[in-house]
Amino acid sequence: MFMDYVDLKYRPNRDEIIAEFRMDPNGVTFEKACSEIAAESSIGTWTKVSTMNPSIARKLKPHVFWINNKERTFKIAYPIGLFEYGNIPQLMSSIGGNIFGMKMLKSLRLEDIDFPESYIRGFRGPEFGIEGIRKRLKIWGRPLLGTIIKPKVGLTPRQMAKIAYDVASGGLDFVKDDENLTSMKYCRFEDRVPLILEALDKAEEETGRRIGYSPNITAPADVMEERAYYARKHGSKYIMVDVVTAGWSGLQYIRNLNMGMIIHAHRAGHAAFTKSPEHGISMLTIAKLCRLIGVDQIHVGTAHVGKMVGSIDETCEIEDEIEQKFITEKSGEHVLEQFWYKIRPTISVASGGLHPGGIPKLVERMGSNIVMQFGGGCHGHPGGSRKGAMAIRQAMEAVRDGITLQEKAKQHKELKQAIDKWGVA
């Protein structure tokens, strides 16, 4: 190595990007591996090169400024000049790229990234955010209630529209496609969207409530653009993108169209990176990048209430950070200040294995400022989808009123049937 990147006396300035990693070295010391990672993710390589000059090193050299050997974690401060403004793919090619394939590492996990205001200014952030979503739906002071139409695939557009009407009239606030439903022969996007929107318009007229629909536009970027405009033309105020499989470039492309539509971010595929506590990229990192780009709502887990991975602490940390406007984090003696500038907060979506009996525990752990989504926990109700929606609404009302689900169920058979089938978490 032509230079050492470890300097524990270094104090990052306010114009640097801070990345936190967890690492297990392979055949080298922890400090040596830290230095090599800093080099590979920035200006260095495996040997001394004649093309390196002191000016480059002075301006662009990162510093490993914090190491916790017990936890096997460390932090690197990267000069802002290493990165292109407004370009998440380039950022991740640097601090989330080659370093994961280094032979001197048994494992490596990118745990978190903190950004200076100068970098944040290069992004739009959510167009609506939490307040904008609530204002559009005219819902305040309680969780938003939604459903994923089930089965995931196989239904015709008319069948989906019928289900959408049933759950909307039953009390839910919005409907969405599932992650692997795009535009199949039996359910073309162009056929599905107008029918579902028409069904929801009817439910709105009958109930006096606003009800949203997030059609899944995930596809190559040019097709996503066509689908987004098509949905907007037919009255949709929402779109959904599978952000991991569509990729950073695809997500930025859609957000930068500035279409005036709420972007719902599904995280399908995230666990390929996030599930291992030892290797990969944390869900916290993915969520913060999605907020920076500009999704209005994103799946973060269910705080160990539903079927998906994600501890209570991890899920709540993600929720807290993507809702924050200002974050102060102590790194040893260093105080890192993260300014989110004018980036609106993103609302957390809890989804995966939820049913009415889990609502009290979910609210206890994640609070009321969340989106709850129910798939099987709605459509698997003994009385069908509409009764499932009613049971969900009744459970939410019980939490709001400070009574137990069992007490509420005495006067509401839909909730009682749900509890009899799935229990109370």
Tell me which of 61, 63, 75, 150 is the catalytic residue: 150
Which residue, among 39, 156, 228, has the nearest Cα to 31 in the 3D structure? Answer: 39
List, in sequence order, every residue forming a beta bridge with 280; answer none if it has no partner.
Answer: 109
Residue 69: CB atoms within 10 A of its CB come to: 9
Which residue, among 136, 132, 24, has the nearest Cα to 74 in the 3D structure? Answer: 24
Quote the tokens at residue 310.
């994600």
Tell me which of 63, 264, 266, 270 is the catalytic residue: 266
Which residue, among 421, 420, 418, 305, has the nearest Cα to 361 in the 3D structure? Answer: 305
Check if 381 is active-site: no
For residue 253, count CB atoms less than 10 angstroms from its CB and return exposed for 0-12, middle for 13-18, buried for 19 or more: middle
Compute the distance between CA of residue 253 and CA of residue 256 in angstroms, rounded to an integer.
Answer: 5
Check if 150 is active-site: yes
CA-angle at 344, arms to 42 and 175, nearest 5°: 110
Residue pair 70/106 in contact by the 8 Å Cβ criterion: no
Parallel, antiparallel or unpaired: strands 262-266 and 297-299: parallel
Residue pair 165/192 in contact by the 8 Å Cβ criterion: no
What are the DSSP calls for 48-79, one per residue? --TT--HHHHHHH--EEEEEETTTTEEEEEEE
**Cα(first)–Cα(last) distance of the chain, in Å?**
55
Q: What is the set of active-site residues?
A: 150, 266
